[in-house]
Structure 1
Amino acid sequence: MLISHDPFRCFMPYEPIPVTNADSGPLSGLTLAVKDIYDVAGYRTGSGCPLRLAQSPVASVTAPAVHRLLDAGARFVGKTHTDELAWSMYGMNAHFGTPVNPAAPDRIPGGSSSGSAVAVAGGLADIAIGSDTGGSVRAPASFCGIWGLRPTHGRVSLEAVQPLAPSYDSAGFFARDGQTLGRVAQALIGPDTVSLPQTPILLRPMDMASQLAPESRVIYEAVFGPFTAREVTVFPGGVEAAYHTFLTTMGWDAKAAIIPWIRASAMPLVHGIDGRVASAEQISAADFATANTARAAYATHMQTLLGTTGVLLAPTVPTAPFRLDAPVEVFDSYRHDAMRLLCVAGLAGLPQVTFPAGWIDGAPYGLSLIGPRGSDVSLIALAEKLSKEVPS
């Protein structure tokens, strides 16, 4: 790392190799942290896994997504911790440790982009790039009280980035405020292909809101209640059917993208990954075909629902981050509860921006907007506008 002090233990302790950035640009003056699944010239790529790190050569080429930020003037300050192989959402790594959540040190920071989120929340970097497959930018943004975007799927290159489930993997990013997040989006993604109107149609997804814990529902209503919005259903076949579709299609992706390496390396499987690997290996081609058809139908449903002017006033996760010493049952259940909400944007390839919304028992809680494909920059601008209009 290229910073002198890391009190939140969010950076990998690599030898500090300087990385060249442009002298000027739209991100000039901003420091950049990079999740350790992206190749950065001069560094190894560990992906939160000791065996992966041991096998990794020193990268000679920087991933295009990171290069784009450097070309825009951002200054690289280090590579950040991730859950092992980016396959979790807690931010806890059995091999390299857990970054400290600056907003709530006794709570999980969220993962798998834990180090990137913590670096921004703790003021050690102005912006950070992570990845989001099942919620790995959106959840830690909520948990750490910062802004985060899962972009429209496919709008940011994932070349020279470790894959997990390619049809879901997205290059998300963090900032401490909406304006800075918007600057990053413009530099990394470019102009919207669908620009939201000045007065978009706001939609209230009641079958998402109904999954919230009572304390989260209070924040949801306080933030979004003042806005006129049409009530809609985002799970026409029920939430469990959509979640099953997500798990099956994501698992099939992982079965092809990362599980062959897991088995060939004979890496020890920690709790959580062991079950996910076993479940993915049980998915048959017929299972995938059925789920993939359902996924396409779901994407069509969401495209029809949003059109080019609709925006969902969406919860990000069910409640605030839980304690680091919570029972294992809490870890296992929270992941599924969270992904029942997070799967909406993933299944349909939609952009989702998360922003700080309130506090629950001393820990941050974020809400979000989900917009049409290609509306990333204007979606961030809308979130910034709506968050400022909420009565105090």
Structure 2
Amino acid sequence: MSIWVTRFDPPAAGPGGLLRVAVKDAIDMAGVITTAGCAAVRDRAVLATSDARCLAGVRSAGAHIVGKTTLTELCVSPAGDNTTFGTPANPVAPDRIPGGSSSGSAVAVANGEADIGLGTDTGGSVRIPAACCAIVGLKTTWGRVPTEGVWPLAPSLDTVGPMARDVAGVVTGMRLLEPDWTVASRPARVVGRLRIAGVDPAVEDVVDAALHAVGFTVREVRLPGWEQTYDALDTIILGELWRAHHTLLDADGVGEIVNGGLDAGRYITEQQLAEAMVARAAWQAEVAAALDEVDVLALPTLVASPPLLTAFAGFPLTRLTAPFNLAGVPAISMPIPSPGFPVPASLQLVGPMYGEGLLCATGLAIERALDRPPLPD
């Protein structure tokens, strides 16, 4: 199945030459339609008159955009599936999901067709495909990267972030998004180990082993409000989805899952949204307090190995990612040594607001200390 919605002539050189960038087809490019992975949107679309603001650094750096990539319809599903545009094959484990919603950008990076992939992350849509495809993905601080010209799912949660085969590549991608951004001068020293119910013990074990091997000071951390985040997240995502895209309800070319989300969203009241925002503020304060005690938080990205393409229904893909969208904080996902796993387990590090430099410095230190799991040629 296709990685690409639109493909442009590739450059002659790859790594070490012209930088190749894959752009999720939820991000406007001048002169190209944006489909948002939805037939109804594609059929109504007109050519974008300008680039999304987040592409300004890509253009000024002279990087080559090699194409616009497949995604799940309207950025909704975290599995990476799309019946209309095709589900990109996971190059690490073809029998397993590629993860979504930024599936095409992740696969393009993992199989070497792009050096940097740009995606959006509202509940895990950069980190989940990065974890499924054994690459690195960075969810940026909410509001840091401009989203004008980016197809909205839930504007109060939406972020844009880079994916690459290693942390150094994500650093390059972050500099495309924010040219003056820099990596912190030192990595984290004290890591808060967060344990959430329902995670495969084998995944927890390899995360613990990686943190121990690097030599971090590790402290156990609890976030008592974790389980209460999901109601607020559902309210915000469904309510904002409806407010942004109510004209697509029952439209020809809109899939069942998205239509069901729109239908549910129309019953979300302004009072319910306001209450969800109050819950969000309390959760943000709880996460910030935890990050006052440690430099970063550490936990897996997924509760278990990525599910099979034939059996992903019910797998809690956003269980460990979405609460950090509600908090607004940055988070990076990266593969770690995982002998015997079908796909290397993914370590998720979470930093304070605008702490992307610290996360990348820490990720670089981890890669130096560990044998990085290899990707296919």
Q: Are 2:76 and 1:95 equivalent residues in the alignment?
A: no
**How far 1:356 moved relative to its partner?**
0.8
Aligned AA (1:297): A
| Structure-2 change in CA distance of 1:290 and 1:196 (3 Å) | farther
Q: TM-score, normalised by structure 2?
A: 0.90
Report what 1:128 is aligned to. Answer: 117
**How far 1:365 moved relative to its partner?**
2.4
2:188–2:358 CA contact under 8 A, matched in 1 = no
Report what 1:350 is aligned to. Answer: 329
Q: Deviations over 1:20-61 (max 9, x none)?
A: xxxxxxx96210111111111221111111121121111231
Structure 2's unaligned 5+ residue stretches are 373-377
Aligned AA (2:151): Q
| Structure-2 change in CA distance of 1:35 and 1:288 (3 Å) | same
**How far 1:244 moved relative to its partner?**
1.3
| Structure-2 change in CA distance of 1:107 and 1:199 (3 Å) | closer
1:165 pairs with 122, 130, 154, which one? 154
1:185–1:377 CA contact under 8 A, matched in 2 = no
Residues 322-337 of structure 1: matches in 2 within 5 Å?
322-326=307-311, 330-331=312-313, 333-334=314-315, 337=316
Q: Deviations over 1:179-222 (max 9, x none)?
A: 1211221331355699575554311113x2x4311231222222
Distance 2:94 2:107 in 1: 11
2:297–2:351 CA contact under 8 A, matched in 1 = yes
Distance 1:169 1:102 in 2: 27
Report what 1:387 is aligned to. Answer: 367
Report what 1:24 is aligned to. Answer: none
1:134–1:343 CA contact under 8 A, matched in 2 = yes
Q: CA RMSD in A?
A: 2.5
Distance 1:63 1:113 in 2: 17
Q: Are 2:64 and 1:75 equivalent residues in the alignment?
A: yes
What's the secondary structure of 1:186's corresponding residue? helix
Report what 2:240 is aligned to. Answer: 253
Q: Are 2:260 and 1:275 equivalent residues in the alignment?
A: yes
1:30–1:75 CA contact under 8 A, matched in 2 = yes
2:163 pairs with 168, 174, 181, which one? 174
Aligned AA (1:10): I
Residues 230-249 of structure 1: matches in 2 within 5 Å?
230-234=219-223, 236-237=224-225, 239-249=226-236
Report what 2:275 is aligned to. Answer: 290
- Aligned positions, number: 366
Distance 2:81 2:329 in 1: 27
Aligned AA (2:25): D
Distance 2:179 2:189 in 1: 21
1:192–1:376 CA contact under 8 A, matched in 2 = no
Aligned AA (1:364): P
2:174–2:181 CA contact under 8 A, matched in 1 = no
Distance 1:183 1:107 in 2: 28
1:150 pairs with 118, 131, 139, which one? 139
Q: Are 2:30 and 1:41 equivalent residues in the alignment?
A: yes
Aligned AA (2:367): S
Report what 1:367 is aligned to. Answer: 347
| Structure-2 change in CA distance of 1:363 and 1:273 (3 Å) | same
Residues 113-124 of structure 1: matches in 2 within 5 Å?
113-124=102-113
**How far 1:344 moved relative to its partner?**
2.5
What's the secondary structure of 1:369's corresponding residue? strand
Report what 1:262 is aligned to. Answer: 248
What's the secondary structure of 1:229's corresponding residue? strand
Report what 1:302 is aligned to. Answer: 287
Report what 2:3 is aligned to. Answer: 10
Report what 1:213 is aligned to. Answer: 200
1:35–1:82 CA contact under 8 A, matched in 2 = yes
1:192–1:378 CA contact under 8 A, matched in 2 = no
**How far 1:10 moved relative to its partner?**
0.5
Aligned AA (2:327): A
Distance 1:314 1:261 in 2: 39
1:194–1:373 CA contact under 8 A, matched in 2 = no
**How far 1:261 moved relative to its partner?**
2.7
What's the secondary structure of 1:51's corresponding residue? helix
What's the secondary structure of 1:171's corresponding residue? strand
Structure 1's unaligned 5+ residue stretches are 1-7, 20-26
1:196–1:375 CA contact under 8 A, matched in 2 = no
